[in-house]
Amino acid sequence: MDKISLRTATREQLASARSTSSGRSSVTMLGGSGRHLSHTLIALTTGNSLGEHENPGEASLIVLTGRVRLTADDESIEGTSGDLLVIPQEPHSLEAVEDSAVILTVSKP
């Protein structure tokens, strides 16, 4: 069995995001190549984003801290700490309204 501290990982990834010109940082917590399910912690500083991209499978975001905006087509939804956002199948983007950390969960077919 393994145990991962999301509090520690969030602090580390936010510190890393704050020190990069892109204002973002991420680490795969579980899963990756050859696995169907993956969990990735993504940190974004205020105003930075993950530009529009395709969804590789069923996916959701859990907002650990901060406030983010998920946009697909002409619709947007905001999430704050403790929210679960279902990622749509169409191309979408994610923007940090304030310094934020999220867990991206993806289940690939």
pLDDT digits 0-9 by tens, 59-73: 999 999 999 999 998
Q: Distance between CA atoms of 16 and 1, rounded to whole angstroms?
A: 27
Closest CA to 54 of 11, 94, 26, 92: 92
The structural domains of the chain, with segments of one domain joined by +, span 6-107
Q: In Å, how far are 25, 75, 88, 89, 93 from 54, measured between CA atoms? A: 19, 16, 9, 8, 9
Residue with tokens 């310094």: 99
pTM, whole model, 2 decimals? 0.92
Residues of the chain with pLDDT under 70: 32
Task: Return the CATH fold of 6-107.
Answer: Jelly Rolls (2.60.120)
